[in-house]
């Protein structure tokens, strides 16, 4: 009697928000394994199904460690629901010949919108003004304090990939002067390029972070960078929290050594630095820059396309070659 072939399984780690939104549709198409449904440790769940798992689908907050990779002998593909892949042990994947893919530019426009929104909010103190009005302070204290205009500001962007370029395009249209630093100079981009963040920050008053988190970029934005940015300087981060030295950022903000910050990401999510709660020049959002209904639908289609391609031995989209 012939043994029926095992259906390739996709181990879901997270689960990603898009999986929650489209779980029934996903489950009709693929053999997903959902560890959170079992009241057992992850390693125990994996050990009972290791020989069927061909792929992992993971969220940005679910580490794909060397230990997990080594426990899955049939693993051939890791697919991230995020653009960043710092939560995946890329080195171990390369050693094992496992392909890694990310969400590509699916979120670029939405994250760029969030970056610009955070910047405008900090510069014009919109959230602070909202609190001022709703708390009933306006009739008692009168005029709200002066804010700044955005047009004419020098904006430095760290990382000019698809998100960074979308940010630059938006702010350039709003009258800002754009410059950037990146791993390499972009040949078709006319904005001024600086080879490192120190030269960039010396020539801008607003710093927007949109690069990947790597060993080289971890804590790239430290106290030295912030002090060069100066007391009127603003930092916006829509990339990964650990690119900024969060402890030093808090100190600089509390002491007034930089002018403000718009933060969608944090070093120890979902924990927020409570020292920032009382500061009107700081705007905080819960790592939600990429999450719109439209982006989730686009990501669902993109994930299905990539998993279909993998299972059918067709070329993948957005394979991560280097980080």
Supply the residues annotated as catalytic.
240, 269, 287
Cβ neighbours, 10 Å, residue 24:
7
Give the integer Cα–Cα distance in Å for 296 and 304: 12
**Furthest CA-CA distance within the chain:** 86
Residues in the chain: 323
8-state DSSP, 38: S
Strand-pairing partners, residue 64, are: 88
Give the integer Cα–Cα distance in Å for 71 and 207: 42
* Residue 78 contacts residue 228 (beta carbons within 8 Å): no
Q: Dihedral sign for Cα 27, 32, 33, 36, please.
A: negative
Helix, strand, coil abundance in the chain, percent, nearest 5: 35, 15, 45
The two counts, helices (H) then strands (E), for the chain are: 13, 11
Residue 234 corresponds to which tokens in the numbers above? Answer: 């603003």
Residue 291 corresponds to which tokens in the numbers above? Answer: 């999450």
């Amino acid at each position: 009697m012939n043994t029926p072939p095992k259906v390739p399984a996709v181990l879901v780690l997270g689960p990603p928000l898009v999986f929650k939104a489209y779980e029934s549709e996903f489950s009709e198409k693929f053999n997903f394994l959902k560890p959170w449904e079992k009241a057992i440790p992850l390693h125990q769940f994996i050990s009972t199904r290791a020989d069927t798992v061909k792929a992992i689908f993971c969220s940005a907050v679910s580490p794909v460690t060397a230990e997990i990779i080594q426990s899955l002998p049939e693993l051939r593909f890791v697919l991230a629901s995020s653009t960043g892949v710092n939560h995946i042990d890329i080195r171990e994947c390369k050693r094992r010949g496992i392909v890694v893919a990310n969400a590509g530019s699916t979120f670029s426009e939405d994250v760029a919108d969030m970056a610009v929104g955070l910047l405008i909010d900090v510069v014009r103190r919109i959230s602070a003004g909202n609190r001022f009005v709703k708390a009933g302070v306006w009739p008692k204290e009168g005029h709200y304090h002066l804010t700044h205009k955005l047009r004419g500001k020098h904006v430095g962007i760290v990382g000019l990939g698809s998100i960074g370029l979308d940010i630059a395009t938006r702010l350039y249209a709003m009258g800002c002067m754009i410059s950037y630093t990146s791993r390499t100079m972009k040949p078709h981009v006319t904005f001024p390029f600086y080879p490192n963040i120190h030269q960039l920050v010396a020539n801008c008053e607003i710093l927007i972070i949109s690069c990947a988190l790597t060993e080289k970029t971890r804590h790239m934005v430290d106290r030295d960078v912030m002090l060069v940015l100066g007391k009127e300087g603003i930092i916006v981060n829509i990339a990964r929290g650990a690119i900024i030295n969060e402890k030093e950022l808090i100190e600089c903000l509390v002491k007034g050594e930089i002018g403000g910050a718009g933060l969608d990401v944090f070093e120890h999510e979902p924990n927020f630095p409570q020292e920032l709660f009382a500061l009107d020049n700081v705007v905080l959002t819960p790592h939600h820059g990429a999450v719109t209904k439209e982006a989730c639908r686009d990501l669902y289609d993109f994930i299905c396309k990539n998993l279909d391609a993998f299972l059918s031995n067709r070329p993948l989209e957005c394979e991560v070659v280097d980080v």
